[in-house]
Chains A and B, each alone.
Chain A
Amino acid sequence: MVAKRIIPCLDVKNGQVVKGINFEGLREVGDAVDMGVQYARDGADELVYLDISASREGRHTFAGLVERIALGIDIPFTVGGGISTLDDAARLLDAGADKISVNSAAIADPTLISRIAEKYGSQFVVVAIDAKDIGGRWTCTTHGGSRLTELELFAWAREAQERGAGEILFTSMDHDGTRAGYADAVYARMSEELTIPVIASGGAGSIEDIRRVLSEGRADAALAASIFHYGQIPIPALKQALRASNINVRL
């Protein structure tokens, strides 16, 4: 049986991992490579690095950083943020990324998913979806949740799978940042409807939240950021607790 995965997510700007604080600003929390190495040692199963720099210069710095990450860490990692062309994906693959994630650009042009998957394989393509509940209809958003689209979450997830996505990383914008638990029921339905793995993101506040989304929520992986960055939940303790609850995790 493939183990359920624990994935710390690192938002990167100018080589530093940053974390937003109530929309007011960004706080630097550490060096991107050093933090990745430490997470790998602690037993993280995979890492996600998101480039949140907006400029062309920032993107260039990020590709160099991906090379250093690939040299430094010995577990798989995904990179995302601003990938909108096949060339962007190719550059990150060459730099050593194991997977890339596409979000807004895939909504703007769904063929991006199939083009990357055909060239580099489905295992290389993670489709990230940000959605919120609008009057009972889960609606996809772009640009960090600020813009609504017409797409319905489950329909878009199925289309992404058909176009060759290897995994779906779904973030509930209603739960993100609340630390009150993941959108368990939504993940359970998504796992039921899809054959590809589902990564849960948004809402982790406790070990119990993670246990629930991996069991009742049937997610294949749980992603979180701040609870790991600030040491609130140490990964070794988390994994011991999950194993004690009979969840198949790598120890």
Chain B
Amino acid sequence: MIAIIDYDAGNIRSVGNALTRLGAEYELTADPARILEADKVILPGVGNAAEAMAHLRERGLCELIKGLRRPVLGICVGMQLMCRDSEEGPVQCLGLFDAHVRRFCETPDAKVPHMGWNALGNLDSKLFKGMKGGSFVYFVHSYYPGLCPDTIATCRHGEQLFSAALKYENFYGTQFHPEKSGSVGAAILQNFLAL
């Protein structure tokens, strides 16, 4: 069973829909027992990082997530919460990835939010098995994790190169939305499910 952590962090229905399309069973839950039993855990998230972090804390899920030993995938703000801290607040995050989350500087060729399809580079993980650099995925965000030793994919918005995906031990995160990224996104989710 796949557990999608339900912590009132925006519209997270589309992640479940994507798993259904792949034929995977999932449960939307904030129950610690169910999360611990799950084969895989997904931490979605849309909206404000500081608010999302507060919701996670209220439900007493921070230490539990850090202690998980099975594959965990954070998506968008879910991934940002797994970084060290975020300028959006600012807020201290879970510290699983060694990255700071910063706001994009708006320039004529880099609108904020960074929204739309953009290409991935420097792919370096089983998460991207079977994929080539230059594959397009869908982004919607104003804050980004910088480059760090945990970076497993990069993307460029204007002049800014940032981490499109991160990995540390069993923890994975994507700044983009694989659930909205067509066949490329489906392949990434499938690779995660196969870990």
Contacts and interface: CB of A to CB of B under 8 A. Distances in A.
A5 B119 CA distance: 13
B62 interface: no
B70 interface: no
Nearest to B47: A121
A122 B17 contact: no
Interface stretch (A92-100, A133-141, A142-150, A226-234): A92-100
Contacts of A250: 117, 136
A75 B106 contact: no
Contacts of B185: 74
Please classify the interface of chain B as helix (H, G, I), strand (E, B), loop, or mixed, using the class held by over half of its residues. mixed
B138 interface: yes
Interface string A37-65: 00011000100000000000000000000
A74 B118 contact: no
Interface in B23-49: 46-47
Contacts of A2: 111, 114-118, 139, 157
Interface in A197-241: 197, 220
Given A93-B11, A96-B14, A195-B106, A74 B116 contact: no
B111 A196 contact: yes
A197 B14 contact: no
A94 B46 CA distance: 13
B28 to A, nearest CB: 14
Q: Size range of the interface on A?
A: 20 to 34
Given A96-B14, A96-B17, A1 B118 contact: yes
A157 to B, nearest CB: 15
A108 interface: no
Interface in B157-195: 157, 179-183, 185-186
B17 A70 contact: yes
A155 interface: no
B129 interface: no
A71 interface: yes
B115 A71 contact: no
Cβ-closest 9 pairs across A and B? A250-B136, A2-B116, A3-B117, A250-B117, A71-B17, A123-B140, A76-B180, A96-B13, A75-B182
25 contacts: A1-B109, A1-B118, A3-B117, A41-B183, A70-B13, A70-B14, A70-B17, A71-B20, A72-B21, A74-B21, A74-B179, A74-B180, A74-B185, A74-B186, A75-B180, A76-B138, A96-B14, A96-B17, A98-B180, A121-B47, A123-B113, A166-B115, A195-B106, A197-B115, A250-B117
Interface of A: 1-3, 5, 40-41, 45, 70-72, 74-76, 93-94, 96, 98, 121-123, 166, 195-197, 220, 250-251
Interface of B: 11, 13-14, 17-18, 20-21, 46-47, 106, 109, 111, 113-119, 136, 138-140, 156-157, 179-183, 185-186
Given A2-B115, A3-B116, A45-B117, 8 more contacts: A1-B119, A2-B114, A2-B118, A74-B185, A93-B11, A96-B14, A96-B17, A122-B113
